[in-house]
Amino acid sequence: MNMAIVSDIFTIAAVSAGAFFFLAGTVGLLRFPDVLTRLHALTKADNLGLGLVVLGLLPRTDGLLSALKLISIWLLVLLGGGIITQLIATSARRGGPPE
Amino acid sequence: MIEFLVAAAGFILAMVALGLARVLRGPAEVDRMMAAQLIGTGGIAVLLLLAAARGVPAAVDVGLTLSLLAAFASVAFVKGASPSELDEAGGR
Amino acid sequence: MTTATAFNLGLAVLVMVLACWTVLARGAFAATVGFVAYGLLLAFIWIRLGAVDVALTEAAIGGGLSGVLMLGAAARLRASEALIAAETIAAGRRLWAAALSAVTALALVTSVLLLPDPAPTLAPAAAENAAATTLGNPVTNVLMAFRALDTMLEKVVLLLALVGVWSLGPDRFWGGRLGPRHRVDPEGMLVFLAQLLPPAGVVVGIYVFWVGANAPGGAFQGGTILAAMWLLAMMAGLTDTPPSGSRRARLVLVAGPSAFLIVGLGGLWLGEAFLAYPLAYAKALILGIEFAMVPTIAVTLGLLLAGPPDRSAQS
């Protein structure tokens, strides 16, 4: 009985923290002054936001396969998102792509 | 718990909606691409939360597909926005 | 108002706002980004409606491939984009177009809202006979057993679309390599991504195809993921597009519809009907056809997005 309550609290805490980082990322994307700072905010949502949501949902999965799926989603987003932000930053530093 | 997960999904969806404002405003194409990236990641988070809340485990598969396709689409966008830096069109 | 209703309402409003903006956006690039985001939101709506297979297809096609297709088209139109933007349409004609669209939308909405409750549907009949194929996914049952003819013809339509795209290239390049050559810094990050992501993507694609027998998924979604991974490798310059005259590519392209046709004619030959499966072998036949279709779909979609032949086969 205790385990269930503890895991529920863990899920609520982790998902709330993840949602907070999504908020931070979005606010950063909207309010920061230039491309590079906005990219920085964006990566927070990618890494921490999604990571904490995945962490919070892990106790609710049934079985190793579902848990592995959740983690692989996070890893794929990390990989893709990380590279994309690097590419965007490179093209932004070179004087910006055409508008 | 279910209500909380749906509420969290709704909250992140609201964040995605705010991110759309950046897609709408721009001003540069990079801004739109970054907003699309945020929408993709936020969308995956919403899908995972909905999967857990509604008991639709297949939604996780949709999230998995989305993570791959979002990376692919973002690469195409970055190449489309700045063709001269990343590649050159082949010769006729 | 429960959280679920609030969520649905918010989603609906968001989708409509985004759709309006996509129509009104200036510049092909902005509109394409809006369209991809719209596709993603549509995937949510399908899940809320309980249609996870459709959501999978929407995420794969609408979230990735359509956007890239439109970007490719926009790139080819870039030379004349100024001309297109400078064209002004008379206000009267715009009004007519708006009125026509509004009337069509209204007609659709009323016909959906006026559907008899419960709506006439073949779903119970399909569910009753689902045991015939012993597959767990009712959508796969409908696609591959009860309406297999539609599915086969869809693949033929895809092939026709591919031939149509190929016909857009100059005559002298018929049979040549497709699309531009991508030259990318071999030490760069794009190549890194294209080396790491496709292996994982191929595993996911095969998984999504395999799981389609008993859960949402299937050959089409799996093939789309494989096509996206192949295109990623092409865009990073790791592999060049095949020449459209390549015999191997053409063999793979016809493998899927041919498997369908062979099985269909076999059913006819056994005296039953076109595309009738003998009950004992139904599941094996269905899986065999899907197995042949996955490479076909992957190659067809990949070649569709690569573009018309722009270079000679030796370049």
Q: Which chains touch B (3 or more CB pairs under 8 A)?
A: A, C
Say whether C190 and A72 touch across the interface (CB within 8 A). no
The amino acid that residue C298 corresponds to is A
Contacts of A33 (CB under 8 A, 6+ apart): none
The pLDDT of residue B57 is 84
Say whether B63 and A73 touch across the interface (CB within 8 A). yes
Find residue C309's DSSP bridge partners.
C178
Say whether B38 and A25 touch across the interface (CB within 8 A). yes
CA distances from C174 to C178, C182, C241, C296, C315 (A): 10, 20, 14, 21, 13
Compute the mean pLDDT over every residue in chain C, rounded to the nearest whole number: 85
Interface of B with A in 2-21 (CB under 8 A): 4-5, 8, 11-12, 15-16, 18-19, 21
Residue of B nearest to A8 (CA): B1
Closest-CA distance of chain B to residue C249, Å: 21
The pLDDT of residue A1 is 63
Q: How many Å apart are CA C95 and CA C101, to the nearest integer?
A: 10
CA distances from C74 to B24, B87, C161 (A): 19, 17, 18
Q: Is C199 exposed, middle or buried (0-12, 13-18, 19+ CB in 10 A)?
A: exposed
Q: What is the pTM of this model?
A: 0.88
Res. C206: pLDDT tops 90: yes
C236, HSE (Cβ side, Cα atoms, 13 Å): 27
Q: How many Å apart are CA C72 and CA C68, to the nearest integer?
A: 6
- The DSSP result for A38-74, as a single string, is HHHHHHHIIIIIHHHHHHHHGGG--SHHHHHHHHHHH
Chain A residues within 8 A of C193 when measuring between CB atoms: 79-80, 83
Residue of A nearest to C207 (CA): A69
For chain B, the domains span 2-82
Helix C189-211 vs helix B58-81: crossing angle, to nearest 10 = 150
Which residue among A72, A76, A87 places its CB closest to the CB of C190? A87
Kindly tell me the sign of the dihedral angle through the C-alpha atoms of C139, C140, C143, C147.
negative
| φ, ψ of residue C178 in degrees (nearest 5) | -90, 145
Residues A62/B53, Cβ–Cβ less than 8 Å: no
Residues C186/C195, Cβ–Cβ less than 8 Å: no
Output the six-digit token pair for C261.
């046709």
The amino acid that residue C268 corresponds to is L
pLDDT 10s digits, A18-27: 999 989 888 8
The pLDDT of residue A70 is 92
Beta-carbon contacts below 8 Å between A and B: 144
Say whether B1 and A29 touch across the interface (CB within 8 A). no
Which residue among C6, C33, C64 places its CB closest to the CB of B72? C64
Phi-psi category of residue C179: left, alpha or beta, with phi > 0 → left and psi -120 to 50 → alpha:
left
Question: Which comes out higher in pLDDT, residue A36 or A98?
Answer: A36
The amino acid that residue B49 corresponds to is L
Interface of B with A in 46-85 (CB under 8 A): 48-49, 52, 57, 60-61, 63-64, 67-68, 70-71, 74-75, 78, 81-82, 85
For the ranges A72-81, C21-30, C257-266, the one whose mean pLDDT is highest: A72-81
Res. B88: pLDDT tops 60: no
CA distances from C148 to C49, C211, C238 (A): 24, 19, 37
Res. C174: pLDDT tops 60: yes
Tokens 């899940």 found at: C47
Compute the mean pLDDT over every residue in chain B, rounded to the nearest whole number: 79
Residues C200/C226, Cβ–Cβ less than 8 Å: no
pLDDT 10s digits, C218-234: 889 999 999 999 999 98
Chain A contact present for C95, CB below 8 A: no
Which residue among B13, B32, B73 places its CB closest to the CB of C11? B13
The pLDDT of residue A36 is 83
Kindly tell me the sign of the dihedral angle through the C-alpha atoms of C116, C121, C124, C127.
negative
Res. C39: pLDDT tops 80: yes
User: Which one, of B19, B70, A98, lies nearest residue C27 by Cα?
Assistant: A98
Q: Nearest 5°: CA angle at C247, between C242 and C252?
A: 80
Chain B residues within 8 A of C3 when measuring between CB atoms: 3, 6-7, 10
- Mutation test of the interface with chain A: which of C189, C208, C225, choosing the one with the most A Cβ atoms within 10 A? C189
Q: Which chains touch C (3 or more CB pairs under 8 A)?
A: A, B
The pLDDT of residue B70 is 87
Residue of C nearest to A69 (CA): C204
Say whether C193 and A80 touch across the interface (CB within 8 A). yes
Residue of C nearest to A80 (CA): C193
Q: How many Å apart are CA C251 and CA C13, to the nearest integer?
A: 47
Which residue among B28, B35, B45 places its CB closest to the CB of A50? B45
Q: How many Å apart are CA C257 and CA C248, to the nearest integer?
A: 16
Output the six-digit token pair for C65.
């491939």
Q: How many Å apart are CA C145 and CA A70, to the nearest integer?
A: 33
Kindly tell me the sign of the dihedral angle through the C-alpha atoms of A9, A11, A12, A17.
positive
Say whether A57 and B52 touch across the interface (CB within 8 A). yes
Res. A10: pLDDT tops 70: yes
Q: How many Å apart are CA B34 and CA C312, to the nearest integer?
A: 37
Say whether A79 and C196 touch across the interface (CB within 8 A). yes
Residues C58/C44, Cβ–Cβ less than 8 Å: no
Res. C273: pLDDT tops 80: no
Res. C264: pLDDT tops 70: yes
Closest-CA distance of chain C to residue B11, Å: 9
Q: What is the ipTM of this complex?
A: 0.85
The pLDDT of residue C299 is 92
Compute the mean pLDDT over every residue in chain A, rounded to the nearest whole number: 85
